[in-house]
Structure 1
């Protein structure tokens, strides 16, 4: 429960302030009453898919991604990421992911509106999700 509240606060802070370092984010969270470490904030940023653009943290842009066919990314087990896509665009999304040659991705398999993205382990899942959002944003 605490993690959920902290992650919601992180998203809120990133949307409302220009935050350029994890230390800045830790300080803002502590002022808001959260007891956090830099390592927990780092994990939260990965799980939330937060990316750094132009020297500041930003959220992935679902609108831009959706315009290119990608709607959502979810974890499945320890070695799979599931991409939900606009109907008929899963193959195009998979091709773009394959062309990016993201080292953490073993391979993709596309259907009509879903892409299964195989990765070797849980850590690679988080890294792959972040890189895919960056690719489509």
Structure 2
């Protein structure tokens, strides 16, 4: 239990640093990003960096990594998307907007998404597998970006 907690803390710290680096300077490759992380005292493998980028919804635009425009998404209710296991995405929304956000997601007919289940401020988005999960996260961010 304690090892999982420490691992999660390292991952969260690394992901926060990744977002900070991407916002601060143009980064074009995972190796370049990995190198910046290492210099910051957060060594990571290329595969960890790759997973982090996908979980964060980071996309490449004009040859450089960029963070999805959270302001546009937040203005429409979507606050975050997080992987949960291999076939679930948990979306957080502004209070009371989960149903409206889920309707928008369903209306987009994203082929990787099997279905959604909305509560007050949380949406469970079901997908078939890890590959579909990654693709769906990118497409949902694009929808709300």
What is the TM-score with the length of structure 1 in the denominator? 0.76
- Please report how far the alpha carbon of residue 54 of structure 1 lies from its aligned counterpart in structure 2 after TM superposition: 3.2
Moved more, 42-51 or 106-115: 106-115
Q: Is the 8 A contact 2:110 2:139 kept in 1?
A: yes
The answer to whether 1:62 aligns with 2:70 is yes
Inter-partner Cα distance in structure 2 for 1:89 and 1:130: 20
Inter-partner Cα distance in structure 2 for 1:101 and 1:128: 11
Alignment map for 1:19-34 (pairs within 5 Å): 19-34=27-42
The answer to whether 1:110 aligns with 2:118 is yes
State the SS of the aligned residue for 2:113: coil
Alignment map for 1:41-56 (pairs within 5 Å): 41-56=49-64
- Residue from 88, 91, 108 that aligns with 1:83: 91
Q: Which residue of 2 aligns with 1:8?
A: 16
CA gap 1:41/1:84 in 2 versus in 1, 3 angstroms: closer
- Please report how far the alpha carbon of residue 120 of structure 1 lies from its aligned counterpart in structure 2 after TM superposition: 1.9
Inter-partner Cα distance in structure 1 for 2:85 and 2:31: 31
- Please report how far the alpha carbon of residue 60 of structure 1 lies from its aligned counterpart in structure 2 after TM superposition: 2.4
Q: What RMSD, in angstroms, separates the aligned Cα atoms of the two structures?
A: 2.6
Kindly tell me the number of residue pairs found equivalent between the two proteins: 137
What is the TM-score with the length of structure 2 in the denominator? 0.73
Q: Is the 8 A contact 2:55 2:82 kept in 1?
A: no
Q: Which residue of 2 aligns with 1:125?
A: 133
